[in-house]
C-alpha cells in the first residue's frame, strides 16, 4: 500500500541522487542533454535532451500534485514543442526510453 502522507508538498522529492539518475539514463540512451544549472531550486530545474532526429525535449520534475505514491520513481515529464508531444510522468529510465523511441 502506498504512503499517501509522503506526497511532497513542493519539490523536495527532486534530490541530487534523482537528478543524477536522470542524467545517467539520458546518457545511457545515447541522448545529448544539458541542465539549466538551477539544481538549488528544483522547481525551476529543467533539462534539455535532443533526440536522434535533432528535436529538443524539455524535461522537468513534476510537482507534488502530479506525484504518484504508487510509483514513487516516476518524477519526470518531457515536452517536445514541434510537433507537440508530451510524455506521461515517468521514471528516469522510462523517460529516456520514451524520448529515444520517439525518434525511431
User: Which pLDDT score is estimated for 54?
Assistant: 93
Pairing of strands 76-80, 32-35: unpaired
Please list the residues that pair with 50 across neighbouring strands: 32, 56
User: 86 or 37: whose pLDDT is higher?
Assistant: 86
Enumerate residues 6+ apart whose C-beta is below 8 A from 21: 92
Compute φ and ψ for 22, nearest 5 degrees: -65, -45
Query: What SS3 state is found at 19?
Result: helix
Model confidence over 25-73: pLDDT tens digits? 999 999 999 987 666 655 667 899 999 999 999 998 887 777 777 887 7
Please tell me the total count of domains within the chain.
1
Q: Can you give the residue range of the structural domain that contains 65?
A: 4-102
What's the mean per-residue pLDDT of the chain? 81
Rg of the Cα trace of the chain? 13
Phi and psi for 72 in degrees, rounded to 5? -65, -15
pLDDT band at 3 (very low <50, low <70, confident <90, very high): very low
Residue 28, number of CB atoms within 10 A of its CB? 13
Amino acid at each position: 500500500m502506498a504512503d499517501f502522507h509522503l506526497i511532497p508538498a513542493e519539490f523536495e522529492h527532486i534530490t541530487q541522487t534523482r537528478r543524477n539518475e536522470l542524467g545517467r539514463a539520458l546518457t545511457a540512451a545515447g541522448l545529448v542533454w544539458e541542465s539549466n544549472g538551477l539544481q538549488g531550486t528544483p522547481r525551476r530545474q529543467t533539462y534539455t535532451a535532443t533526440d536522434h532526429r535533432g528535436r529538443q525535449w524539455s524535461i522537468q520534475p513534476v510537482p507534488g500534485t502530479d506525484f504518484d505514491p504508487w510509483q514513487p520513481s516516476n518524477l519526470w515529464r518531457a515536452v517536445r514543442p514541434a510537433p507537440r508531444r508530451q510524455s506521461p510522468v515517468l521514471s528516469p529510465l522510462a523517460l529516456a526510453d520514451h524520448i529515444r523511441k520517439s525518434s525511431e
